[in-house]
Amino acid sequence: MTSSKNLQGLIAALAPYWGGEAEIIGTYFRSETRDRKSDLLWISRQCWKEFYDGFDDDHPGLFVGPLKKMLGLADKIDIDVDRHEVLDMAEGLYEEFSHYCAFADAYDAIRTEADPAISPVMLRDVKSWPENDHLAEVRRRHRQDHGTLGLRAGHLTEGGYCGLFSEGMKLSGGSDADAAIARACSLVYEDEFGHMLKGILGLDNEGLPSGAWELLTELGLEQMHARLDMRNAQFGSPVPDARMKALHHGQGQSIAFDFAKADSAA
Ligand SMILES: [Fe+2]
Ligand SMILES: [Fe+2]
């Protein structure tokens, strides 16, 4: 993938924050306070995200949202809307639901009789958490104020360069929990890398007007700041305030963007 100076600049700006997100998750996995209960909590929150994440009433979650939309389009396919657009929606629904299944399988592998069984209905009790709601609100505002560019920024930061999935894939402590989490994370990793690429591929060919790159960087960074807090809270705040402050100042270890992988996924 050849990339312009603008695109390289955008990636360089985001890279320390992608690293920061991965650091938060790695810190949790290595922490001594990690146990079955804390694993079940973050996994159920991840399941919540995979099933219910949305940014407004028009986007009521990654399962119900696309289903509703596709139902409404049934009579419009090949008249008002391209069939491939609908196929893309169906593919997105399949992928996000398979992520819910992957993490729910990990939950089931870890839970004991004493822990509640997982289901989308049970997840309504788990609920979102304030930092996740804040991220959704930032994304909603960016879409509302900046249209396509705001949506682009959302794709660009989706999964935070797969920080959770790449850290989870590395787990090799030999426990059943580690194996179950590593399995779920490797299943989800490839899809989520693709979702993030949607935000990047083609940016150079769009002839973005002057100022758009700066704005995209600004929106992406605001979303990454919100992501850092969302992840730290999801995992029970494994990273102390002082280090979180440093991560917010861009002092995470930059992740090198994998251009070769981007090429093969394009
Ligand atoms: Fe997902
Ligand atoms: Fe996704």
| DSSP state letters, 85-97 | HHHHHHHHHHHHH
pLDDT of residue 24: 98
- Report how far ligand 2's centroid is from the alpha carbon of 59 (Å): 14
- Report how far ligand 2's centroid is from the alpha carbon of 111 (Å): 25
Is the per-residue pLDDT at 57 higher than 70? Answer: no
pLDDT of residue 199: 75
Residue 205 pLDDT class (50, 70, 90 cuts): confident
- Report how far ligand 1's centroid is from the alpha carbon of 242 (Å): 30
100/187 Cα distance (integer angstroms): 11
- Report how far ligand 1's centroid is from the alpha carbon of 147 (Å): 22
Residue 1 pLDDT class (50, 70, 90 cuts): low
Is the per-residue pLDDT at 196 higher than 90? Answer: no
168/46 Cα distance (integer angstroms): 13
pLDDT of residue 49: 95
115/58 Cα distance (integer angstroms): 34
Is the per-residue pLDDT at 266 higher than 80? Answer: no
- Report how far ligand 1's centroid is from the alpha carbon of 79 (Å): 30
Comparison of pLDDT for 25 and 60, the residue scoring more: 25
Residue 204 pLDDT class (50, 70, 90 cuts): confident
Is the per-residue pLDDT at 35 higher than 70? Answer: yes
Is the per-residue pLDDT at 58 higher than 80? Answer: no
pLDDT of residue 59: 65
Q: Which pair of tokens denotes residue 161?
A: 């360069």
Beta-bridge partners for 81: 77
Contact (CB, 8 A) for 110 and 43: yes
Give the pLDDT confidence of 39-55 residue by residue, as tens digits.
999 999 999 999 998 75
Average pLDDT score, the chain = 92
Phi then psi dihedrals of residue 81, to 5 deg: -135, 140
Query: What's the mean pLDDT in 219-244?
Result: 98
Give the pLDDT confidence of 95-135 residue by residue, as tens digits.
999 999 999 999 999 999 999 999 999 998 888 899 999 99
Residues whose beta carbons lie less than 5 angstroms from ion ligand 1 = 50, 96, 99
Give the pLDDT confidence of 162-189 residue by residue, as tens digits.
999 999 999 988 899 999 999 999 999 9
pLDDT of residue 264: 73
Query: What's the mean pLDDT in 8-13?
Result: 94
Is the per-residue pLDDT at 157 higher than 90? Answer: yes
Fold for 5-265, please state it.
Heme Oxygenase; Chain A (1.20.910)
Contact (CB, 8 A) for 189 and 145: no
- Report how far ligand 1's centroid is from the alpha carbon of 48 (Å): 10
pTM of the model: 0.93
pLDDT of residue 127: 84
Please choose, from the candidates 248, 195, 186, the residue with its C-alpha nearest in 3D space to the C-alpha of residue 221.
248
242: left (phi over 0), alpha (psi -120 to 50) or beta: alpha
Query: What's the mean pLDDT in 214-222?
Result: 97
- Report how far ligand 2's centroid is from the alpha carbon of 242 (Å): 30
Nearest ligand to the C-alpha atom of residue 97: 1
- Report how far ligand 2's centroid is from the alpha carbon of 189 (Å): 10
Is the per-residue pLDDT at 66 higher than 70? Answer: yes
- Report how far ligand 2's centroid is from the alpha carbon of 154 (Å): 10
Please choose, from the candidates 82, 212, 194, the residue with its C-alpha nearest in 3D space to the C-alpha of residue 146.
212
Query: What's the mean pLDDT in 237-251?
Result: 98
Question: What are the boundaries of each domain within the chain?
Answer: 5-265
Is the per-residue pLDDT at 254 higher than 70? Answer: yes
- Report how far ligand 1's centroid is from the alpha carbon of 210 (Å): 32
- Report how far ligand 1's centroid is from the alpha carbon of 199 (Å): 15
